[in-house]
């Protein structure tokens, strides 16, 4: 298949279930909401080595937030048990501490409800108040009062959406990856948790040479050793590969994100081929076909 | 004391030892280096609830980095034992995975050396190479080759530098805090680990009402309950307080940061008073006097 | 009147007709489109001293642009005659010269059509091509091919929408102004042409003391000389005033922008009063009442 | 010649004299200073179609500005006569109007002194004051008081520094151009006036086909028509060319900027060749040899 003269491999990305909570963070300015959201979603690229996967979903204009202030929604994704701790810790340490912020339930779903009982921080000086019909707590802090809705809904979402961008130069693939991530930002319900949304170092399970390693470089997708790897997946004219990984609140969000991302990547000159990663269906129940992206 | 018509309380910030590692992250553009540095220093405001304290120290122009590319230095700060894990995990998950990055030892000191043996990720395809006289590893990945210097020096640095900004309105204090953080960015050797560099919710140890809480709001510094708190520290005309917390590689860096930050804050209209937090010398051996800041 | 405890004066902003052209600028990344749009809309705060008024209207995601790439729309506003020159010059000097850009008609209206015959720059190497059903020219340049739709529609729009934010401190008013501008960015069809969207130095026609001056400071709205000006409009507790000026493609856009801006400003602590500027109906036919903003 | 495996043509850039004024813009935050500086240097890529060439030179930290606030310096460059008008208009319309700004003489030189008599705007309410030993005026405005040093020094500087980056893909050349511009930002005394610092559409004088055109595309440097142009300068494997144009306060600044820029560009993978533009010495007296850049 082709799209805009780019080869689209007839394959699919394989997704699997992961729990997802959405938190709305508002602040006095867009910039301060963004700073809190950035801190709260850092060190969260992959559950392999980070305590969760997290990212900023989208900007929410003042007219759409509970308190009429600018905000951002973030998604926090991981196993059900770890999720409670991660939502609590990241809100406590990175949002409560940030100037002028308030926190509301982003209503990803109500399959699970995560309590974040921050009002105890108020040491008895806290009080209840209603914001736009929502029951919240107001906690006196140095900067004023911190407003928080204490129950954050969570849903069994979808992780592992992905596609790989192969370029005729490292910079072609890199700019295509950046553009794809930008396009995905306009799709509600999903995030790209890696740095700047892009994965540079794809891995395989285990290692052939170092038995103590749980994962190692996926040599079949490494362009610089193309000639040393018999079963390389790198076409002759490809100099670099970047992967976009997508987590979402449901299958439809991830599907829409893949479509937006693949099409945007194919608009960048020098992109040779798009493919996707799967484990033949052994990893998870969701299949995102590249043929549905074009 | 006064500086630019702002009251400077005659007190001091109390610092204590904390281990600090400095990592240089370079990339093909300043923007990509910044994205990796931001991810690697997220979820790291306070060791109370985060695995470490971390932040971006400064931009390093191409002429000053080992590989002639733009970069940022980050500081990762925590206890000696946790430091090894945090440096390794944050570099592995947030920098190795980021497009076009390389990692070098920022040479904070050599009291301790943290090994980050990423070359095993290469599964035998890795090779040694020298960059500007430094022994590194080159690891084939999807995006190209990842270059890494595998030993990161650490030093017993100083945490807990701080000052509090009191404003005649919440926005006066907020903008002053933002301006102070900006000024501190020009001082080498230190970071302000909280979101946007600012703390909005200072705490006291324990809680009077909720015995199960390890920390709770420091009501003496909460302007909205000033009239309910007998021993309030809030002057009558103060509407908000923001704190700047500083960690650094040594005493001199923190001292210089406090001076730059206090003076910058005092240039913002509406700042009433600057003070600082200490525990009477029981917490740590370093005293940063506000009288030395003006 | 009051909104969120802020006094809303029962007055109106007076708008007047001004010609408006909308240009779509796309590029390989959002960032490069933004750089071109920023350059093309600079030195364009007020037709009093600048050749036009201009600003970025909004981000256009890839799915909504003619060429499937990220883009921004800009509005260029001035008299009918000057508009032709300004659109041509700003596109020629600031967009054609910018890497990877393309230019499309933003279809503000078709009352007037501005020709920008850039294809002559191609010196005979240019060719016609269709993009998403739109007739364009493709002009070979150093960076590749520059795609341009050569007719830009213009409409008799509305200038002079405005409101003034009065704060209990300079920073309260400033942050409220910034937040108002942010809210207006979510309203299609309008721009805030001043630096960062905010006016700091409102003027009156002429000067009482210096007869050679066409305009001078509007002393009635200057807080620092409140006690020297008998007919001051500054309430006792107001320390600063910032004005938001709005230009739009039609009356409805300006009205919606004023509503979004006023409401957002009123969410910022320390805002005392909102008012608006008019000339009693002598300047223009449009009246934007503050009572319609709340 | 080669640098980092990139071919460096043995040629030179030809510079010519242009008058340059430097203005220091400070504000309450770095961000607001940047907004004013951006507006003041917009629509200023080339004196061919813009009223001047202008750009942001560098960030000035609070410790180095006259008023202890964060600031940026801008350079405004054009003919001697136009310079007076451009400095006055851009400061009046884009800095005086911007929130919290102050303006100081950046002391580019004293060969010429440009008066910007903004104090008349004060209509008699203005007053003199000294800032860090500098005689200034304080003008009451809506936002507070605007502080301005009314004499801006100018110097006969150097325009036309340049080099061209040729890449194996459009994105290789583009990222290299962006990286080069970033490196030049660390060199004091110069600017890159085009959008994002990069020129995409180099021109030749006149036109072969359209006699009414004063300039047209430089077909010899257009990769997409390489096969149609007999005397093409495009090597076979080059897909895009971007030019960096540099203006500076003196010869040494431009020379240092070219060196920093060329070396940074050569660090980006996919750059094939660096060359430079000259008119055989007929345009101006300054020669910047590429051999001095490596």
Q: Which CATH number is B2-14+157-293 given? A: 3.30.70.520
Q: For D186-196, how does the pLDDT look when each residue is reduced to its tens digit (9 = 90+)?
A: 999 999 999 99
Q: For B276-292, how does the pLDDT look when each residue is reduced to its tens digit (9 = 90+)?
A: 999 888 888 999 999 99
Residues whose CB falls within 8 Å of the CB of residue D114, separated by 6 or more in sequence, listed in order: D21, D83, D84, D87, D88, D151, D152, D153, D154
Question: Neighbouring chains of A at 3+ CB pairs within 8 Å?
Answer: B, C, D
pLDDT confidence of A112, banded at 50, 70, 90?
Answer: very high
Task: Give contacts of B174 with chain C, Cβ < 8 Å.
Answer: 171, 175
Q: For C249-279, how does the pLDDT look when each residue is reduced to its tens digit (9 = 90+)?
A: 999 999 999 999 999 999 999 999 999 999 8
Q: How does the average pLDDT of chain A come out, rounded?
A: 97
Q: Which fold has domain C18-155?
A: Alpha-Beta Plaits (3.30.70)
Q: For A245-288, how does the pLDDT look when each residue is reduced to its tens digit (9 = 90+)?
A: 999 999 999 999 999 999 999 999 999 999 999 988 888 899 99
Residue of chain A with shortest Cα separation from D240: A269
Best of D5, D70, D72, D180 to substitute, by most chain B Cβ atoms within 10 angstroms, is D70
Q: What is the pLDDT of residue C258?
A: 98
Question: What is the C-alpha separation between A257 and C125, in angstroms, rounded?
Answer: 39
Q: What is the pLDDT of residue A282?
A: 87
Q: Do C182 and A68 touch (CB under 8 A)?
A: no
* Nearest CB partner across the interface for B99, out of A100, A121, A174: A174
Q: What is the pLDDT of residue B228?
A: 97
Task: Give contacts of C198 with chain A, Cβ < 8 Å.
Answer: none
Q: Do B263 and D62 touch (CB under 8 A)?
A: yes
Residue of chain B with shortest Cα separation from D63: B260
Residues in A lying within 8 Å of D, measured between beta carbons: 31, 167-172, 174-176, 239, 268-270
Nearest to A161 by CA among A38, A284, A272, A270: A284
Residue of chain C with shortest Cα separation from A178: C29
pLDDT at B13 over 90: yes
Alpha-carbon distance C251 to nearest alpha carbon in chain D (angstroms): 25
Question: What is the C-alpha separation between A226 and A248, in angstroms, rounded?
Answer: 33
Q: What is the pLDDT of residue A170?
A: 98
Q: Please, are residues C284 and C160 in contact by the beta-carbon 8 Å criterion? A: yes
Q: Do B146 and A200 touch (CB under 8 A)?
A: yes
Q: For A227-245, how does the pLDDT look when each residue is reduced to its tens digit (9 = 90+)?
A: 999 999 999 999 999 999 9
Architecture of the domain made up of A2-14+158-293:
2-Layer Sandwich (3.30)
Task: Give contacts of B218 with chain A, Cβ < 8 Å.
Answer: 142
Task: Give contacts of B140 with chain A, Cβ < 8 Å.
Answer: 217, 219, 222, 224-225
Q: Do B169 and C174 touch (CB under 8 A)?
A: no
Question: What is the C-alpha separation between A244 and A163, in angstroms, rounded?
Answer: 6
Segment D62-86 mean pLDDT? 97
Q: For A14-73, how does the pLDDT look when each residue is reduced to its tens digit (9 = 90+)?
A: 999 999 999 999 999 999 999 999 999 999 999 989 999 999 999 999 999 999 999 999
- What are the angstrom distances between the C-alpha of C218 and each of A25, C168, C222? 39, 20, 7
Percent of chain A with pLDDT over 90: 97
pLDDT at B211 over 90: yes
Q: What is the pLDDT of residue B110?
A: 86
Secondary structure of residue D228 in the 3-state scheme = helix
Q: Do C201 and D146 touch (CB under 8 A)?
A: yes
Nearest to D159 by CA among D264, D242, D47, D58: D47
- B35: tokens are 């994205």
Task: Give contacts of C201 with chain D, Cβ < 8 Å.
Answer: 96-97, 121, 141-143, 146
Q: What is the pLDDT of residue D110?
A: 86
Predicted TM-score (pTM) above 0.90: yes
Q: Do B175 and C174 touch (CB under 8 A)?
A: yes
Segment D190-205 mean pLDDT? 97
Q: Do C68 and A264 touch (CB under 8 A)?
A: yes
Nearest to A51 by CA among A71, A28, A81, A26: A81
pLDDT at A86 over 90: yes
Q: What is the pLDDT of residue C165?
A: 98
Segment A96-117 mean pLDDT? 96
Q: What is the pLDDT of residue D283?
A: 86
Any alpha helices (H) in chain D, and if so which ranges?
30-40, 80-94, 170-184, 251-265
Task: Give contacts of B168 with chain C, Cβ < 8 Å.
Answer: 168-169
Question: Neighbouring chains of C at 3+ CB pairs within 8 Å?
Answer: A, B, D
Rg over CA atoms, chain A? 21
Task: Give contacts of C170 with chain B, Cβ < 8 Å.
Answer: 172, 269-270
Best of C267, C270, C294 to substitute, by most chain A Cβ atoms within 10 angstroms, is C267
Complete DSSP assignment for A113-124:
EEE--GGGGGTT
Residues in C lying within 8 Å of A, measured between beta carbons: 4, 28-30, 61-63, 67-70, 144, 175, 178-179, 182-183, 186, 260, 263-264, 267-269
Question: Kind of pairing, strands A6-8 and A271-275?
Answer: parallel
Low pLDDT (below 50) residues in chain C: none
* Nearest CB partner across the interface for C179, out of A4, A28, A179: A28
Complete DSSP assignment for C245-289:
EEEESSHHHHHHHHHHHHHHHTTSTTEEEEE----TTSS-SEEEE
Q: Do C93 and D50 touch (CB under 8 A)?
A: yes
In CATH terms, D19-155 corresponds, of 3.40.50.150, 3.40.50.1100, 3.30.70.520, 3.40.630.30, to 3.30.70.520
Residues of chain C with CATH 3.30.70.520: 2-14+157-293, 18-155
pLDDT confidence of D102, banded at 50, 70, 90?
Answer: very high
Question: What is the C-alpha separation between A19 and C228, in angstroms, rounded?
Answer: 64
Segment B135-142 mean pLDDT? 98
Q: Do B269 and C175 touch (CB under 8 A)?
A: no
Please, what sign has the CA dihedral across residues D152, D182, B94, B78?
negative
pLDDT at A110 over 90: no
Task: Give contacts of B170 with chain C, Cβ < 8 Å.
Answer: 172, 269-270
Q: For B175-187, how does the pLDDT look when each residue is reduced to its tens digit (9 = 90+)?
A: 999 999 999 999 9
Task: Give contacts of A31 with chain D, Cβ < 8 Å.
Answer: 31
Segment B151-165 mean pLDDT? 98
- C10: tokens are 């029962």
Q: What is the pLDDT of residue C110?
A: 86
Q: Do C179 and A68 touch (CB under 8 A)?
A: no
Q: Do A270 and D175 touch (CB under 8 A)?
A: no
- What are the angstrom distances between the C-alpha of B285 and each of A150, B79, C254, C276? 39, 16, 60, 57
Alpha-carbon distance D230 to nearest alpha carbon in chain C (angstroms): 13
- B19: tokens are 């281990």
Q: What is the pLDDT of residue C73?
A: 98
pLDDT confidence of D57, banded at 50, 70, 90?
Answer: very high
Q: For A205-224, how does the pLDDT look when each residue is reduced to its tens digit (9 = 90+)?
A: 999 999 999 999 999 999 99
ipTM: 0.97
Q: For D117-131, how does the pLDDT look when each residue is reduced to its tens digit (9 = 90+)?
A: 999 999 999 999 999
Residues of chain A with CATH 3.30.70.520: 2-14+158-293, 19-155
Q: What is the pLDDT of residue C27?
A: 98
Q: For D103-157, how does the pLDDT look when each residue is reduced to its tens digit (9 = 90+)?
A: 999 999 989 999 999 999 999 999 999 999 999 999 999 999 999 999 999 999 9
pLDDT confidence of B18, banded at 50, 70, 90?
Answer: very high
Q: For C7-54, how does the pLDDT look when each residue is reduced to its tens digit (9 = 90+)?
A: 999 999 999 999 999 999 999 999 999 999 999 999 999 998 999 999
Residue of chain B with shortest Cα separation from C31: B31
Task: Give contacts of B100 with chain A, Cβ < 8 Å.
Answer: 170, 174, 200
- Cα B142–B70–A273 angle (5° rounding)? 25
Q: What is the pLDDT of residue B283?
A: 86
What backbone torsions phi and psi does residue A26 show, to the nearest 5 degrees? -110, 160
Alpha-carbon distance A112 to nearest alpha carbon in chain B (angstroms): 24
Please, what sign has the CA dihedral across residues C7, C9, C10, C14?
negative
């Amino acid at each position: 298949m082709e799209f805009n003269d780019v080869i689209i491999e007839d394959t699919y990305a394989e997704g699997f279930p992961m729990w997802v909570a959405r938190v709305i963070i508002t602040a006095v300015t867009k910039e301060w909401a963004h700073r809190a959201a950035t801190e709260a979603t850092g060190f969260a690229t992959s559950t392999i080595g980070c305590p969760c996967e997290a990212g900023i979903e989208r900007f929410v204009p003042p007219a759409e937030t509970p308190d009429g202030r600018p905000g951002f929604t973030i998604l926090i994704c991981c196993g059900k048990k770890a999720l409670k701790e991660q939502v609590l810790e990241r809100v406590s340490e990175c949002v409560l501490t940030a100037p002028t912020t308030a926190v509301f339930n982003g209503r990803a779903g109500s399959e699970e409800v995560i309590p974040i009982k921050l009002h105890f921080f108020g040491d008895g000086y806290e009080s209840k108040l209603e914001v736009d019909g929502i029951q919240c707590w107001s906690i006196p802090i140095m900067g004023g009062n911190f407003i928080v809705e204490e129950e954050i809904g969570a849903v069994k979402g979808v992780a592992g959406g992905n596609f790989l961008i192969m370029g005729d130069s490292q910079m072609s693939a890199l700019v295509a990856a950046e553009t794809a991530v930008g396009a995905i930002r306009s799709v509600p319900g999903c995030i790209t948790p890696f740095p700047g949304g892009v994965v540079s170092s794809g891995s395989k399970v285990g290692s052939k040479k170092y038995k103590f390693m749980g994962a190692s470089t996926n040599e079949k997708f490494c362009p610089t050793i193309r000639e040393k790897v018999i079963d390389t997946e790198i076409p002759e004219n490809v100099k670099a590969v970047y992967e976009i990984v997508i987590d979402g609140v449901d299958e439809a969000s991830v599907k829409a994100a893949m479509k937006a991302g693949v099409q945007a990547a194919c608009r960048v000159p020098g992109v040779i081929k798009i493919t996707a990663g799967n484990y033949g269906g052994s990893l998870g129940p969701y299949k995102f076909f590249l043929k549905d992206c074009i």
